[in-house]
Amino acid sequence: MSARRSIADLSADLADRAESFCRRYFPEGRKQGNYWQIGDTSGAKGQSLAIRLQAQGGRKAGSWTDYATGEYGDLIDLLQERLGSVTLKETLREARSFLGEAPCPSLPRDTQRAERPDAASSKRIARARKLFAAGKPVLGTLAATYLQGRSITRLGPALRYHPRIFLGQGEDVFDLPSTSPALLAKITDNRGQITGCARVYLDPSTGRLATIESPKRILGQLQGDAIRFWSGTSRTDLIVGEGLENTLSVGTALLEFDLASCLTATHLGLFIPPPGIKRVWIARDKDEAGRNASTRLHNQLESRGITCGDLVPHLGDFNDDLRAFGKDALRRSLLEAMKAQGLEIQDG
C-alpha cells in the first residue's frame, strides 16, 4: 500500500480487518454477534462501546459508538483514542504497521512489564477511565479560561472538561448536589492505556482553582506514568515536569517538544520514559522536593543510558516564570539552559 494513500483508504482497510483489529487493540472485549463490545476507548472491560465487525444494512464495518458518552467514529478515530495522547501522524503510522506496511517496534522488557493491579486498584482505574470519557474538549469551557488565566496555551487531547464532578469519595458518581466543574487530564502508561485521571476543581465564578480542600486530586494509578502531550515531531527528547500547569508552561514556550507531567515531585522521581527517548529534560520546581526528585530521576535514567538535563525556573515554578516574564522570555531562558547543556536548536 502506498504511503500516499488517504486516511479514508486506511480506515477502509482497517474495517476489512475489524475483528483482528479489535483482538489486537481491545483484547479485554468480547464478540457479540456482529459487534465487538468493550467498556470504553481505553480498552477497559465492559459493554458500553460497540464496534461493528462487518457491514450490515448499509452500515459500514469498523464504525463504533460509545453509548455511555455519545462518542462515535471509525477505526482511525478509535485507534487514536486507544493510543492515548499521540498525533494523527503517529496514529496513521500505527495503522500502517498493523496492516503490514511497517514493522511494529517491540518495547523493552521493563516497559512491557506491568504489575497486575489488585481488585481495588482495578476499580479505581476503571472509574478514572469512565470519568475521563465523560468529559468534553476544553476549548470554550471554564477549563480553557483557567489555563488562559495562567498564560497557558499548550493544550491537547490529554485534557478534557466536565461541568459537574462529585466532590466526595465516590468519584464515579456525577450530578450530585456537592459537585464542581473540573479540568480533567488523563494519565497513561507507555502503552497508551489510561491508568488514572487527574482532576483540577474550578470555581465557576472566578475561573480559578476552587476554594476547597485539595482542589487537585488524582484517581487511579500514577506511579511511573504521566499526562502526555506530543508535539508531532520525532520523539527522542522529552521534557518531564512536576505539576500540570508547570509542565504546560514549559510546553507553551517550547511547542516543538514532547511533554510528560508527573503531577508531583515524588512521582517525577519515579517516571519511566517511553522507548526511543534518548534525552530527558527535567523541568522541576525550585525547591528541595524538586531537587531531590531530579536527582532520583537522573540516577534512574542514566543507569538506562538516557542523558538527562535540568531545567530550573527563576521563580518558584515555570508557571510563575511564564506569568511574570512572558512566553518569549521563558523560551529564551529555556533554550539558553538547554544550549549550555549541549542542545542546539534553531529558534524561529
Each residue's pLDDT tens digit, 85-121? 456 777 888 888 888 753 344 333 343 334 445 566 7
Q: Model confidence at 168, in pLDDT bands (50, 70, 90)?
A: low
One DSSP character per residue, 218-276 reads EEE--TT-BEEE--SS--SEEEEESSHHHHHHHHHH-TTSEEEE-SSHHHHTT--PPTT
4-29 core/surface letters (b: 16 or more CB in 10 A; e: else): eeeeeebbbbbbebbeebbeebbeeb
Q: Provide CATH 3.90.580.10 ranges for the chain.
A: 10-98
pLDDT-above-70 percentage for the chain: 86
3 state DSSP class of 110: helix
The CATH class of the 10-98 domain is alpha beta
In this prediction, residues 137-164 reach a mean pLDDT of 95
pLDDT number for residue 5: 57
* pLDDT for 76 beyond 70: yes
The whole-number pLDDT of residue 241 equals 96
pLDDT at residue 322 greater than cutoff 50: yes
* CB atoms closer than 10 angstroms to residue 306: 16
Q: Outline which parts of the chain fall under CATH 3.40.1360.10.
A: 227-340
More confidently predicted of 176 and 203:
203
Check whether 52 has a pLDDT greater than 90.
Answer: yes
The DSSP secondary-structure symbol of 136 reads B
- Find the mean pLDDT for residues 4-32: 86
| DSSP code of residue 315 | S
Q: How many C-beta atoms surround the C-beta of residue 93 within 10 A?
A: 16
- 41/72 Cα distance (integer angstroms): 10
Residue 129 has pLDDT above 50, yes or no: yes
pLDDT given at position 116 = 47
**What is the band of 40 on the pLDDT scale with cuts at 50, 70, 90?**
confident
pTM as predicted: 0.65
pLDDT digits (tens, 9 = 90+) for 191-237: 889 999 999 999 999 999 998 878 898 888 888 999 999 887 667 89
Q: Give the model's pLDDT for residue 120.
A: 60
The x, y and z cell numbers of residue 241, run together, are 515536569
Is the pLDDT reported for residue 245 higher than 90?
Answer: yes
Select the more confidently predicted residue: 107 or 342: 342
- What are the distances in angstroms from CA 193 to CA 129, 132, 327, 344, 348? 9, 12, 32, 33, 35
Rg, the chain, Cα only: 21
- Residue 179 β-bridge partners: 166
pLDDT at residue 77 in the model: 86
Instruction: Report residue 214 CA to chain centroid gap.
Output: 22
Per-residue pLDDT, 154: 95
The whole-number pLDDT of residue 252 equals 97
Q: Where are the beta strands (DSSP E) in 106-178?
A: 159-166
Domain 227-340 has CATH 1.10.3720.10: no
Count how many residues are written for the chain.
348
Alpha-carbon torsion 52, 21, 36, 190, what sign?
negative
pLDDT at 257 over 70: yes
